[in-house]
Amino acid sequence: MTSADIITVPLSRYLKEQTTSTHESLDQRIMALAPFSSHARFACFLRMQLRLHHATAPLYQQPELQALLPGLADRNRLPAILLDCADFAISQEQQEQDRLAGQAAGPKNVAQALGWLYTHEGSTLGAAFLLKQARAELGLSETFGARHLAGHSGGRGLHWREFKQALDSLPLSAEERAEAVTGARDAFAFVRTAVEELMAGQQPGAAV
């Protein structure tokens, strides 16, 4: 694909094409670690999510990114997951560990930040399945333990389409698009590391 071809492909589609295999591998790994088999397992899942939310939370507050992506600040789900952690009595010490791990990560520039946000916002679609499982297997809900998995009041699909439209409208160069891909891949890699440390690490004998 030439630089000219890269520029003509919608950014959201380009990012998806460049990260699909990584995304699918991550999803399979998470489900293989049975996050809904017990409250203890889900607490490990929550901590993994907490690290990601701490890594991305500053991006939702950046004026430059807010100017590029209208309504960005309202998409931040860190407050919701903090309440979920309180529901599960996750200790302040553990939460501090996850905060520091999250804040040590993140993008190096605006283009990479777009990739991180694409990865994080895209997870809201899959969250519908996760919420259904959390409700069925553990009795959790949008008001207890699984707030961060709740859909937007306007619907998950519309909320995601609005984000994609804003992303696709940005006039990025081929080089900036490559940086966005780097950011998206870094975000997936960060989550994978958190999965291995927090979920696999708490499950003796789990396959790597």
C-beta separation of 115 from 76 below 8 A: no
Model confidence pLDDT, tens digit, residues 108-154: 999 999 999 999 999 998 899 999 999 999 999 999 999 999 988 78
Report if residue 174 sits inside a domain. yes
Model confidence pLDDT, tens digit, residues 33-85: 999 999 999 999 999 999 999 999 999 999 999 999 999 999 999 999 999 99
Give the mean model confidence (pLDDT) for residues 178-203: 94
What percent of the chain stands above pLDDT 70?
A: 94
Q: What is the pLDDT of residue 46?
A: 98
Report if residue 89 sits inside a domain. yes
Phi, psi of 130 (to 5 degrees): -65, -40
Report if residue 112 sits inside a domain. yes
Report if residue 197 sits inside a domain. yes
The structural domain count of the chain equals 1
Report if residue 207 sits inside a domain. no
**Residue 208 scores a pLDDT above 80:** no
Report if residue 21 sits inside a domain. yes
pTM, full prediction: 0.92
CATH code of 10's domain: 1.20.910.10
Which residue matches tokens 């860190």? 78
**Helices 110-138 & 39-60, crossing angle to 10 degrees?**
150
Residue 121, exposed/middle/buried by CB under 10 A (0-12, 13-18, 19+)? buried
**Residue 181 scores a pLDDT above 50:** yes
Structural domain boundaries, residue 100: 3-202
C-beta separation of 134 from 145 below 8 A: yes
Report if residue 163 sits inside a domain. yes
CA distance 116 to 56: 7
